[in-house]
Structure 1
Amino acid sequence: SDVKVTGNVAAGDWQMGEIGVTQPAGNSVEGLYLTVKDSAGKTKTLQCPDAVATAQPGWKQWKIELSDLTAAGVKTTAIKSISVGVGTKSAPVKGGTGKIYIDDIGYGVPLP
């Protein structure tokens, strides 16, 4: 895969030994944000409407309207990168705990 990690991430072998639909107990209570960047370098960061997304049990869908990106000048036909973060991008806080699972990132075609 073409996954890139930035920020304060511990080095070492990463392995996942469990798959489930429940967020693990003990997660820091945080929201999520998504930053989309196009080929011209224009970006838009969106904050998840669920301010406690990391502590919610089960899988949650976060739908983002393409118009939220185009209104910021992001060319949705030329997306270069997508980053998902925990907390608030404009006010990062060090020291959260827990695990989150992110999957089924889709673009352009609605999920069933």
Structure 2
Amino acid sequence: MLGKQISEARKSRRFRIHDIARRTGKTPARISEFENGKANSTIEFLDELGSALGMTLMFVPHEKVADVLSMISPRERQTSPAYNVPSVFDEVFIDDSHDDEDNAVVDR
């Protein structure tokens, strides 16, 4: 699971494995093995990878993992307010769309 998270974080930042290798001093092969779940790692290695990606290593009690993930998972952003927000244009312009027939110009 950690390797997958590191891989996704690296790709979302558009870093190549070689970029992370240069930042950490680790070999690209070692990083690749870790990302693909073929090698375990030390806490120091995880911390170095996280730092290279701008991430912080945290330990969360097992029973709190779901709570933490729900807080940090991306949420759908609401594109418009759920309520009617008055605009300055509401006060400046008069809605005359319903008066089209009453205000029709008569050709003389």
TM-score, L = length of structure 1? 0.24
Structure holding more helix per residue: 2
More strand by share: 1
| Higher-Rg member (1/2) | 2
